[in-house]
Each structure stands twice: as structure tokens, then as C-alpha cells.
Amino acid sequence: MVKTILSEYRIHNADVVLKSDCTSDELIDVIEGNRIYIPCIYVLNKIDQISIEVGIDIIYQIPHTVPLSAHHKWNFDDLLEKTWEYLKLIRIYTKPKGQLPDYESPVILTHDKCTVEDFCNKLHRTIMKEFKYALVWGTSVKHNPQNVGKDHVLNDEDVVQVVKK
């Protein structure tokens, strides 16, 4: 089947390595290069209308699902937690000099762009011109606070104070 698909796209001499089971549609999508697969979450509403003993246990065995009841406002926290996990987002809190950290409005970064430089660019693009070092509190450092450079990788819920020249 792989040879037939490749010949339809006029690929006659190629080394193809499949590291997982894939369908013919997924192979075609890779060859064309016009589709991107992203993770999804299935939200199952109206869980208040099924029997709790049997239904909830079965629903939680289905992968990538979050059962909730919008009417009774049940399980919204689980949906929020699963969304953060699937999008791979991290929260970084700011700390102005001489003040307490601002836990109300964090700076949101993606998991692949979570250095101090990315944090500074998210705040304002001119900060890196005057950047000297940053003080970081949290799980990404050994000591609280710790002086770090622009290439330091931040973890979720770290607190950062930028020190300028």
C-alpha cells in the first residue's frame, strides 16, 4: 500500500521509515505536508443524567475525555487542568522590585519557548536591550532567589524579577 501511495505522488526512489502504525490517510497527509495533527479533548456534557456508580467509571476510561455538567457546574476544574496539560502552557509570575509577586495576572508561555529571554520578549521587546540578569524563585532554580541569565529555562509558576543595566 505504501508503494502504491508513493507512486501516485511520483515518488519512485525513497527510503520510508514508519516508527508507528499509521493509516493510509495519515501517510498521505505527511507526503502532502498540509495537515498538522494536534491533541484534542472530548468534553462530555450532561453527566448528571447518567447513573454515577456505573457511568462515571466508564467515561473516565475513555482517553482524552473530560465529563462535566454545565447545568450543575460540575468538573470545570478538571477541564481547566486538562486544557493546560494538553496545550503545554506554563504560568510565570512577575515581581516588581521591592513589591510582592503579582499572582493575579501571570505571563503565559508555551512549553517549547519558556526561557527568560522569551519571558522578557513577551513582556516588551525592548527589555532584552537593557537586560542584566533575572532573579528567579521557584522549581527551576536551586536557591530562592537565584541570579540567572537569559538562557535559563523556566518552570510552571516560577516568579521572575528582571534586573536591568
Q: pLDDT confidence of 113, banded at 50, 70, 90?
A: very high
Give CA–CA dist 88/112, Å, rounded: 8
Q: Which residue has the cell 538562557?
A: 151
Per-residue pLDDT tens over the stretch 44-78: 898 888 776 667 778 878 888 998 889 999 889 99
What SS3 class is residue 42? strand
Which pLDDT score, from 0 to 100, does residue 52 have? Answer: 66
Q: What is the DSSP letter of 66?
A: E
Per-residue pLDDT tens over the stretch 114-164: 999 999 999 998 999 999 999 999 999 999 999 999 999 999 999 999 999
- Give bridge partners of residue 160 from the DSSP assignment: 94, 136
Q: pLDDT confidence of 33, banded at 50, 70, 90?
A: confident
Q: What's the whole-model pTM score?
A: 0.68
* Cα dihedral value 108, 111, 117, 119, nearest 10: 10
Alpha helices in the chain (DSSP H): 2-8, 24-32, 52-60, 76-87, 116-123
